[in-house]
Structure 1
Amino acid sequence: MDADSSIRAAVVAHWRASEAGEIEAEHAIYAADAILDYPQSGERYRGRAAIVAQRGGHPADRHFTVRRISGSGDLWVSEVVITYDGVPTHSVSVMEFASGHVVHETQYFADPFEAPAWRAALAEPMPDGAPGDGRPSPAPPA
């Protein structure tokens, strides 16, 4: 298996473990000294232990629907809908790898919104169900 295939498999396994609530498997992707940034709240979590503690203490019922995983080399991006207590939030995760592990992840979050009426004639519905619209979405790419 080439390096890109190995990293893609690790990213897919990470999101599947996240959905299954398998804390150890979810965080196996991170280097011991990884950094996780949330730019919108200004938070930085330094080290796998801090990342695990932050996520493990989350009070919401969370679910993860992967829309797309893209990348090559040391930079990979996942588009994910994270549902917190039944409310979808769109997320983009940018993972930087070194030696097969995430050394830096930046995660951006955005809530869904209704499109303005003036754009209706210009747009069409997203195929395969738009994130958060209740329709099924595709399985993560293998």
Structure 2
Amino acid sequence: MDADTAVRDAIEEHWRASESGDADAEHAIYAEDAILHYPQSGERFRGWATIRAQRNGHPADRHFTVVRITGSQNLWVSECVITYDGRPTHSVSIMEFDAKRVVRETQYFADPFPAPAWRAALAEPEPGP
């Protein structure tokens, strides 16, 4: 198995574990000194244990739908829809790897919004996740 296939498999397992609530498998992808960035809220979470504690403390019922995973070598991007208590939020996760583990992840979140009428003639509907 080549390195890119191994990383893609690890990312896919991370998202499966996130969906199933398996905290051990979800966080196995992170290095001990990994850093998680949330630029929109101005937060940074330093270290595997802190990342895990932050996610495990989330009060919402969460579900994860992976739309696409793309990348190679040390840089990978996952496009997901994360549903919090029934409300979907689009998310982009940028993972940077050092060998086999994530050393840095940056996540961006965006709520859906209605399309403006002025461009309706130019657009087609986006397929669902």
Match in the other structure for 2:37: 37
Match in the other structure for 2:88: 88
Match in the other structure for 1:73: 73
C-alpha separation between the residues in 1 aligned to 2:52 and 2:126? Answer: 34
**Percent identical residues:** 74
C-alpha separation between the residues in 1 aligned to 2:111 and 2:81? Answer: 10
1:84-123 alpha-carbon deviations (Å, 9 max, x no partner): 0000000000000002100000000000000001110000
Q: Hey, which bits of structure 1, 4+ residues long, moved more than 6 A?
A: none
Give the number of aligned pairs: 129
CA RMSD in angstroms comes to 0.5
Q: Give 5+ residue unaligned stretches, structure 2.
A: none
Match in the other structure for 1:109: 109
Match in the other structure for 1:8: 8
Residue 48 of structure 1 aligns with an amino acid whose one-letter code is W
Match in the other structure for 1:49: 49
Q: Give 5+ residue unaligned stretches, structure 1.
A: 130-136, 138-142
Secondary structure in structure 2 of the residue aligned to 1:94: strand
Residue 91 of structure 2 aligns with an amino acid whose one-letter code is S
Secondary structure in structure 1 of the residue aligned to 2:122: coil
TM normalised by structure 1 equals 0.90
